[in-house]
Chains A and B, each alone.
Chain A
Amino acid sequence: MNDNIWILAIANSVTLATTLMFGSLGALFTERAGVLNLGVEGVLLSSAISSFLAADASGSVWVGLAVGAIVGALLTCIHAGLAVILRANQIVSGLALVIFGTGLANFLGKPAEGKDVVTKLKPITFGPLTDIPILGPVLFKHDIITYLAIALAIGASWYLFRSRPGLELRATGDDPATVDAQGLSVANIRIRYTVFGGLLMGLGGSWLMLAQSAAWHQSATTNGIGWIALALVVFAGWRPMRLIFGAVLFGFTLQLPFTLQAEQIDAISADYTKMLPYVATLVALVALSRPSRVNALGAPRALGTPFVRDER
């Protein structure tokens, strides 16, 4: 066993957790408001390619990230409009967003095929801190966006459970009728957080492209990370702090095939180890399920149901 490889593996788990954290934080805000957005995978893909094209054209990684985030927000506007204003079936709308987003991304990605990601996001170095054994590579060798993801999750936890608008947000997901009776607009709150969620997902997709990928690989660029992010929200019980932990854990399963390859453990084919993140997510979801105790997990009670005030 080579210790360095495993330290690198843990460091990589933290890195790979970034997209998962953005994707699932976005989904968490959306779901806390009572809206289910299954479109994460499509949003990640579309924002990834948009960020690539924007960074490539402008030569600035920041322009790329910003454009990717905006594209994420714009795409989820569609879902917000359908789910909140037109009261459409949120599950089907989310799926439609995945299909539309995937097609859009592959369509836009045509000129990007065969090009390398040149404008890349670089890790920050903390001088002596980065050189500390073990802790250095694990904690102090990431780029700014990874730290932003962790800060956002911590901030989200405070916002949700310690602030007034956070209370309103949770109430909108649990009991929209009460929020409505308070004179607040349920639709307004839901649209706002759904679009904000899309912005976060968009940032996650852009980061995946500009910090993590060598080139645009069509749908394989995200390869199901959006779906894992959705499962992660359930895994974390809709709580941002647990989400950090879960993201690193799933990040570990995502990088494991490469680590095993580096360790030259080839008793199991790489095709099988690549299944691990999906199988692990599945096992986690099943292990967390309890018969007839939907809310025991902490799911917002009004999740996925449109709010209709009894109008006379």
Chain B
Amino acid sequence: MRAPFRLVFEQRSETPKYLAAVVPIASVVAALFIGVIFLFATGYSPWETYSNMFQDGFASSTGITDTLGMSTVLICTAVAAAFAFQMNLYNIGGEGQLYMGMLASTWAGLALGPHLPTFVMIPVVMIIGALAGALWILIPAYVRSRLGTSEIVTTLLLTYVAANFINHYIYTSGSYFRAPNTMFPQGRLVADSARLDPFGTTNLYPTFFFVVLLALFLYWLVKKTEYGYKIQVISDSPRAAKYAGINANRTTLSVMLISGALAGLGGAMLIVGPVGRLDPGITALGYGYAGIVIAALARNNFSAIIVSGILFAGLRTGGEKLQISTDTPIHIGVMLQGAILLFALGGEAFRRYRIKTIRTKVVAQ
């Protein structure tokens, strides 16, 4: 049996500019449509769900500040993912690096906080968080650069190890990180000097502006510096890099360590910002995984990540409030993330190829 037509992929020599915007937008729309099908089939009202999500995520004043606040960490984990992805290194353990960053910066906030003033503490907490993230990726980065061990599985496996660390320090009685004398296990709040004040009564912290600057700095680093040029050459053609005398092993190691540090920094931002303690709920939020989606949607472009990060944060805050106000499960938001990414990937094909269908002749018997 033969299909009545066949698909032909013609490589585009140049991608039309409009497609760069159309593909991500179409992916979001298509994913929302998939969401409609599932919502409808499970007995929820799609229209009500989406309009509430939009209302709570973007269109109200608390919604928009909540969204920007939420986007802070998401942009951070997304640049962490993108920094490695652009060199075809798939650090998908950003989640675990974020946990370890959070753990280390909580320690800093508890142990050093009472002795140091705020203007010293904030940078210290952030640096310690970033170092912890880098430390958590050290083994995968080292074995990837020396032995070629796939970083995909190793970074991910360490996420489960990190999650067990977090649980250990929260649930073990007498743990340094645990608040004493509370009925339910929860973390101890770090010293005030280790925390920033939000703007007014919102959930938006100054870290948002820091993270936007960070993304722009990384954009500059990759596009305009020699280091960024090395990364481009290695990812485009490892052989050309070798002939040019670029040490690919060392660049691999440094790119992965920076990626881990950025994810760890995301954890530190939760401590100086909205959370301020080791929180058992953190392992359910999946900031690290969402970062992967945001990075892929922005095609690892650091300035585009700011936009897709805010968009995603909107989906999440909208989804979370939905959970509170109606009975619709919050997980529709996560499902939509996955669907958006799947559609964006499919859309990639239309950017790279001109796809034609050719009728195949049916030979009469």
Q: In the complex, A19 Cα to B353 Cα: how many Å?
A: 39
Q: Which residue of chain A has the shortest Cβ distance to B170 in the bound complex? A: A271
Nearest-CB distance from A141 to chain B (Å)? 29
Nearest-CB distance from B63 to chain A (Å)? 22
**Which B residues, 128 to 142, have Cβ-Cβ distances below 8 Å to chain A?**
139
Residues on the A chain within 8 Å of B259, using CB: none
Nearest-CB distance from A285 to chain B (Å)? 6
Nearest-CB distance from B272 to chain A (Å)? 27
Q: Is the CB of A104 within 8 A of B335?
A: yes
Given contacts A99-B341, A271-B172, A289-B149, contact A107 B335 (CB under 8 A): yes
Q: In the complex, A227 Cα to B150 Cα: how many Å?
A: 12
Residues on the B chain within 8 Å of A282, using CB: 139, 154, 157-158
- Report the interface size for chain A: residues with CB under 8 A from the other chain: 52
**DSSP class of A's interface residues: helix, strand, loop or mixed?**
helix
Given contacts A38-B152, A82-B345, A224-B157, contact A290 B292 (CB under 8 A): no
- Report the interface size for chain B: residues with CB under 8 A from the other chain: 50
Q: Is the CB of A88 within 8 A of B149?
A: no
Residues on the A chain within 8 Å of B331, using CB: 103-104, 106-107, 110
Given contacts A93-B342, A285-B153, A286-B154, contact A88 B348 (CB under 8 A): yes
Q: Is the CB of A271 within 8 A of B158?
A: no
Q: Is the CB of A91 within 8 A of B90?
A: yes
Q: Is the CB of B349 within 8 A of A99?
A: no
Which of A92, A107, A275, A286 lies in contact with B332, CB distance below 8 A? Answer: A107
Q: Which residue, B157, B160, B293, has most C-beta atoms of chain A within 10 A? A: B157
**DSSP class of B's interface residues: helix, strand, loop or mixed?**
helix
Q: Is A78 an interface residue (CB 8 A)?
A: yes
Given contacts A96-B293, A99-B289, A279-B161, contact A107 B329 (CB under 8 A): yes
Residues on the A chain within 8 Å of B346, using CB: 81-82, 86, 88
In the complex, per-residue mask of A142-183: 1 if CB is within 8 Å of any chain B CB, else 0: 000000000000000000000000000000000000000000
Residues on the A chain within 8 Å of B293, using CB: 96, 99
Q: In the complex, A20 Cα to B160 Cα: how many Å?
A: 17
Q: Is the CB of B8 within 8 A of A92?
A: no
Q: Which residue, A81, A100, A110, A279, has most C-beta atoms of chain B within 10 A? A: A100
Residues on the B chain within 8 Å of A279, using CB: 157, 161
Q: Which residue, B90, B156, B165, B171, has most C-beta atoms of chain A within 10 A? A: B156
Q: Is B334 an interface residue (CB 8 A)?
A: yes
Residues on the B chain within 8 Å of A272, using CB: 164, 168
**Which A residues, 288 to 306, have Cβ-Cβ distances below 8 Å to chain B?**
289-292, 294
Q: In the complex, A224 Cα to B348 Cα: how many Å?
A: 29
Residues on the A chain within 8 Å of B42, using CB: 107-108
Q: Is the CB of B147 within 8 A of A286?
A: yes
Given known contacts A95-B296, A103-B332, what 9 new A-B pairs fall within 8 Å (CB)?
A87-B349, A95-B90, A96-B345, A98-B289, A104-B335, A110-B331, A286-B154, A291-B146, A292-B148
